[in-house]
Amino acid sequence: MRKGYRIAAAVVCSAVLLVAVTGCTRVRLQDTPSTAVQTMHKTVDLGGATHLDTTLRMGVGELTLKSLDTSVSAMSADFEFAPTTWKPEVTYSVSGSDGTLLVRQPENIEISPLKNARNNWTVRLAKGIPTDLRLGLGVGTSDVDLRGIDLESLDVTTGVGKTTIDLSGPRARGLSGRIESGVGDLTLRLPASVGARVTGGKDGLGDFTADGVGVNSAGWVNDAYSGSGPKIEIELKRGIGNVTILLVD
């Protein structure tokens, strides 16, 4: 978590404890211009890329992530934010067949209007395009539905809040992933018909519950893991909070 995000997380925790990018911005005038809730839509064309390296960094807010219905665009997203300094930054470039997409909340976000802040992202990523995905999540709630996204690798770091990650559904290729959870509850949805293994689930503080009985010295595995076909390998680094693994048919 970068410096700006650490500051935002600290403020919230303290309160608890006491190559084409197109888009438009619409402002609903309320409060003052600097604190008015704004909405922004962004569409990013693939630009000929056949592989995506995608990074999302959100310091504070609520994230909904899912796949597009087609593979025409690298991303289509809707953002709702206040104050204006929280406007997300979107960059995209193509080198050869590789597209690099970065979506991030500004690092040096203002803290003073935090009590009136809003930051909601609905991000839809390309369907069927091989993708390396990194998520840096700070304070908030995240619903990450990765069905339909052709993941090659996954790296997730969470801060404070509730996170659901859905890796269920068919997989055309194997997937290696790393999930580092901070403070809060994590729910991991995995397919029953694709081999999956999660290591590190017993570390950290909080309850660990999983469908099935496949817990051994190497971690948790589903019944399909002993068969052939693609495998999902997840390294889990736990902090404080409950972890739940659900098998989905």
Other CB atoms within 10 A of residue 245 CB: 23
Instruction: Write out the residue range of the structural domain in which residue 241 sits.
Output: 3-18+51-74+109-248
The yes-or-no verdict on residue 33 having pLDDT over 90 is no
Q: How many domains does the chain have?
A: 1
> Of all residues in the chain, what percent carry a pLDDT higher than 70?
81
Torsion angles phi and psi, residue 130, rounded to 5: -50, 130
92 domain-assigned: no
86 domain-assigned: no
| Average pLDDT rounded to a whole number, residues 189-202 | 91
The whole-number pLDDT of residue 44 equals: 98
The helix/strand/coil state of 211 is: coil
| Average pLDDT rounded to a whole number, residues 35-60 | 95
27 domain-assigned: no
Of residues 169 and 26, the one with the higher pLDDT is 169
19-28, 177-186, 204-213: least confidently modelled range: 19-28
The yes-or-no verdict on residue 177 having pLDDT over 60 is yes
The whole-number pLDDT of residue 113 equals: 53
Identify the band that residue 172 occupies on the pLDDT scale cut at 50, 70 and 90. confident
This prediction has a pTM of 0.85
The whole-number pLDDT of residue 92 equals: 98
Of residues 20 and 94, the one with the higher pLDDT is 94
199 and 235 Cβ atoms separated by less than 8 Å: yes
Dihedral angle sign, alpha carbons of residues 196, 199, 204, 209:
positive
32-46, 119-133, 214-228: least confidently modelled range: 214-228
37 domain-assigned: no
23 domain-assigned: no
The whole-number pLDDT of residue 219 equals: 83
| Average pLDDT rounded to a whole number, residues 191-215 | 85
31 domain-assigned: no
11-15, 73-77, 192-196: least confidently modelled range: 11-15
**CA–CA separation, 104 and 58 (whole Å):** 6
Structure tokens at 187: 């729910």
Express each pLDDT in 100-112 by its tens digit.
Answer: 999 999 987 665 5
198 domain-assigned: yes
Could you identify the residue written with the tokens 């190559």?
A: 19
The yes-or-no verdict on residue 3 having pLDDT over 70 is no
The yes-or-no verdict on residue 19 having pLDDT over 50 is no
Identify the band that residue 142 occupies on the pLDDT scale cut at 50, 70 and 90. very high
